[in-house]
Amino acid sequence: MGMTITEKILAQGARLAEVKPGQLIEVQIDMALGNDITAPLAIDIVRSAGVKSVFDREKVALVPDHFVPNKDIKAATQVKILRDFAKEFGIVNYFELGEMGVEHALLPEKGMVLPGDIVIGADSHTCTYGALGAFATGVGSTDLAAAMITGKVWLKVPESMKFIYHGKRPPFVCGKDLILYAIGQIGVDGALYRAMEFTGEAIDELPMADRFTMANMAIEAGGKNGIIAPDKATEAYVRGRSRRKHRFYASDKDATYVETIEYDVSRIEPQVAFPHLPSNTRGISHVGDVPIDQAVIGSCTNGRLEDLEIAAHVLRGRKVAPHVRLIVIPATPWIYRQAMHQGLFDIFLEAGGIISPPTCGPCLGGHMGILAKGERAIATTNRNFVGRMGHPESEVYLANPAVTAASAVLGRIGGPGELGVIPKD
Amino acid sequence: MKLTGKVWKFGDNIDTDVIIPARHLTTFDPRELARHCMEDKDPSFAQKVKPGDIIVAGRNFGCGSSREHAPIALKGCGLSCVVARSFARIFFRNAFNMGLLIFECPEVADAVEEGDTMEIDVASGKIFIAGKGLSFAAQPVPPFMQELLRDGGLIPHIMKKVKRA
């Protein structure tokens, strides 16, 4: 009986010849991740267990990225818990300000997660690494603590759902649109407890940055993990980033899927998710008149260099509309530096935007761009729940970087086509 | 073990940002988190809720973030249990790990009203709505999970086993 890529990775992690959906297994992990929100609680648990070391000093990553640079005393205290623990336990992958980036952009960039890996992270968007052909899923602080101690985690093998994306993407349609479209079709619990496997020629053609975006948002459909079989693009991405060996897995032809859904991407236009669920999606031509107060380009979903490049392409020579705030957040120091060297910062600044250091900040209503009552933002982030970016009576609309940049200029939600922007390619 | 409590009702897709907004995640103190539980949905919830009360919700309860602060906040409020049509995966895991009792029961959400008194037999998963004469069967909690919940969550449970060995 054939296995899916998810089943193959999990079987290998459990040292079993095969696994089946529903089976409870214990797997060896390749990386355990925590941030300044989730790791303090996990560290408290590890300490109270009386443990003096973690299972592997190189396979634990502590990334203070949510309320960093520390927004207040409490946030500073949380990060200090990580810093002290990292020092005391000899954690290799602790990232101080200056090296620190948004965790799900930082780990792949540093080669800390690779194809074939099993990764658990105390952050729901840990599923991002599925873009590399890894099994990666979010857990809570207790599971992180147990994993830091034992190097293992128990999992239920998920059923797999196959998403086949046919055709060629129209201009300004990104990975963000492909995943928002799917979430709009199946709903925020449409893939509950399941693996979401993305395939098809449109995925083959998709740049790595866009693949990360798609896997990142699997959780927004309730998915346990999102995954894309590694190929030449994956190989090119991981080459030179790590000395550790990676393993390419692929689904068997006779693998079993609980559901198969097919889309023709040539018929998909840029998507906008309306408040207050990522599934409230509409094509850009059906948005209507939605004025905005703020535009945010960044986050683990769309804060990569390619995202900033497309935003800059739209913003070049244009000005942000009066009374609209544009916030650009490169996700890592490397992205920050590249964007600066490429002159993207000049474009953002001349347009009237500001550039933030790497942080999760506004995405979760933490800091660096909180919304007041009644305000409305368009963002390249991943969630638009009630109160997500600030006041419970504010609104967040999700879109790709091109649409977000264009909306900042228009002062209302709209696409780059309205501004007469010519696609790059 | 039998639980009896007053019902608070919520709809579908109650996300972790609603259960405990991110702006309060600079602590993991249960008392402080409990003070802000559900505040973006109902600012007075934390004042109104009484120990032993039960939340009944629709589909996908706990969707969103992996923050364990969500079950901690609910437990901190003294809630004895959450009954929902379905739970988001990470929340489901976190609830057990934190020792918060949860039951999946699609029928209950339709039948129960806010303020009703609900009785739950934890071992069998039988749910009774007092005053309405209605009873439902939720998936019972497996014995090892019941033990875990009695111990107060995964870590106390493991520590107890370690001590015993």
B127, burial (CB in 10 Å: exposed 0-12, middle 13-18, buried 19+)? buried
Identify how many contiguous H helices and E strands chain A contains and give both numbers.
Answer: 14, 18
Query: Which phi and psi (to 5°) does residue A3 adopt?
Result: -125, 155
For A275-285, what is each residue's pLDDT tens digit?
999 999 999 99
Q: From chain A, pick out residues whose CB is under 8 angstroms from the CB of B71.
A: 140
Q: Residue B144: what pLDDT?
A: 76
> Cα distance from B91 to chain A (closest Cα, Å)?
8
Tokens of A119: 């990764």
Q: Which of residues 124-143 of A touch B (CB under 8 A)?
A: 124, 126, 138-143
Mean pLDDT confidence for A66-89: 98
- Nearest-CA distance B94 → chain A (Å): 6
Q: In what order do the strands lie in the sheet with A294-297?
A: A281-283, A271-273, A395-398, A376-379, A294-297, A325-328, A354-355
Per-residue pLDDT of B90-105, as tens digits, reads 999 999 999 999 999 9
* Average pLDDT of every residue of chain A: 97
Q: State mean pLDDT over A341-356.
A: 98
pLDDT at B139: 85
**Rounded distance between C-alpha atoms, residue A44 and residue B98, angstroms:** 14
Nearest residue of A to residue B68, measured between CA atoms: A140
Percent of chain A scoring above 90 in pLDDT: 98
**Interface predicted TM-score of the whole assembly (ipTM), two decimals:** 0.95
The confidence score (pLDDT) of residue A188 equals 98
Q: What is the pLDDT of residue B158?
A: 74
Give φ, ψ of A146 to 5 degrees. -60, -40
Helices (H), A90-245: 103-109, 141-150, 175-186, 201-204, 208-216, 232-238
The residues, any chain, with a CB within 8 Å of residue B143's CB and separated by 6 or more, are none
Taking the CB of residue B35, how many other CB atoms lie within 10 A of it?
A: 16
DSSP code at position A355: E
- Taking the C-alpha atoms of residue A178 and residue A65, their distance in angstroms, rounded to an integer, is 27
CB-nearest to A277 from B13, B28, B68 is: B13
Res B165 pLDDT > 70:
no
Give the pTM. 0.97
Residue A219: pLDDT over 80: yes
CB contact A7 to B (< 8 Å): no
> For residue range A104-147, what is the model confidence (pLDDT) as tens digits?
999 999 999 999 999 999 999 999 999 999 999 999 999 999 99
Residue A98 pLDDT class (50, 70, 90 cuts): very high
Contact A51, A88 (CB under 8 A): no
Closest Cα in chain A to B42: A392
Render pLDDT for B95-154 as a digit per residue (tens, 0 to 9).
999 999 999 999 999 999 999 999 999 989 999 998 899 999 998 887 877 888 888 888
pLDDT score recorded for residue B127: 97
pLDDT at A202 over 90: yes
Q: For a pLDDT cut of 70, what percent of chain A falls above it?
A: 100
Q: What is the mean pLDDT of chain B?
A: 93
Query: Of A45, A122, A365, which is closest to B23 when you measure between CB atoms?
Result: A365
Residue B162 has pLDDT above 80, yes or no: no
Tell me the C-alpha distance between A235 and A84, whole Å: 36
Closest among A255, A176, A237, A208 to A6, alpha carbons compared: A255
User: Using a CB-CB distance cutoff of 8 angstroms, which residues of chain A are in contact with residue B60?
Assistant: 188-189, 192, 222
Cα of A363 to nearest chain B Cα, Å? 10
pLDDT band at A182 (very low <50, low <70, confident <90, very high): very high
Percent of chain B with pLDDT strictly greater than 70: 99
Q: Does A425 score more than 70 pLDDT?
A: no
- Residue A320 to chain B, least CA–CA distance (Å): 28
User: Could you say which of A37, A75, A142 has the minimum Cβ distance to residue B98?
Assistant: A142
Out of A67, A192, A364, closest to residue B86 by CB:
A192
pLDDT in tens, A363-412: 999 999 999 999 999 999 999 999 999 999 999 999 999 999 999 999 99
Chain B, nearest residue to A77 by Cα: B26
| Closest-approach residue (CA) in chain A for B87 | A192
Write out chain A residues lying below 8 Å of B85, CB-based: none
Contact check, Cβ <8 Å, B23/A366:
yes
What does the pLDDT look like over A258-301, one tens digit per residue? 999 999 999 999 999 999 999 999 999 999 999 999 999 999 99
> Nearest CB to A193: which of B39, B89, B158?
B89
CB-CB neighbors (< 8 A) of B94 in chain A: 139-140, 142-143
Average pLDDT (A66-74) is 97
Interface residue B90 vs chain A (CB under 8 A) = yes
Question: Does B58 score more than 80 pLDDT?
Answer: yes
Q: What is the 3-state secondary structure (H, E, C) of chain B?
A: CEEEEEEEECCCCCEHHHHCCHHHCCCCCHHHHHHCCCCCCCCCHHHHCCCCCEEEECCCECECCCCCHHHHHHHHCCCCEEEECCECHHHHHHHHHHCCCEEECHHHHHHCCCCCEEEEECCCCEEEEECCCEEEECCCCCHHHHHHHHHCCHHHHHHHHHHHC
- From the CA of A373, how many Å to the nearest CA of chain B? 12
Residue A330 reports pLDDT greater than 90: yes
Question: CA-to-CA distance for A287 and A413, rounded, in angstroms?
Answer: 7
CA dihedral A376, A381, A385, A390 (to 10 degrees): -50
Q: Does B36 touch chain A (CB under 8 A)?
A: no
**For position A1, what pLDDT does the model report?**
82
Rounded CA-CA distance A144/A151 in Å is: 9
In chain B, what residues touch A140 (CB-CB under 8 Å)?
Answer: 66-68, 71, 90, 93-94, 97-98
Partner-chain residue, chosen from B23, B60, B159, that has the shortest CB–CB distance to A49: B159
Give the minimum alpha-carbon distance from B88 to chain A in angstroms, rounded to a whole number. Answer: 6
d(CA A293, CA A55): 47
Query: Which residues of chain B does A75 touch, with a Cβ-Cβ cutoff of 8 Å?
Result: 26
- What residues of chain B lie within 8 A of the CB of A143, using their CB? 93-94, 97
Instruction: Return the pLDDT at B146.
Output: 83
Which residue from A105, A114, A338, A99 is spatially nearest to A239, judged by alpha carbons?
Answer: A114
- Kindly tell me if the per-residue pLDDT of A66 is higher than 90: yes
Shortest CB distance from B64 goes to which of A40, A78, A383?
A: A383
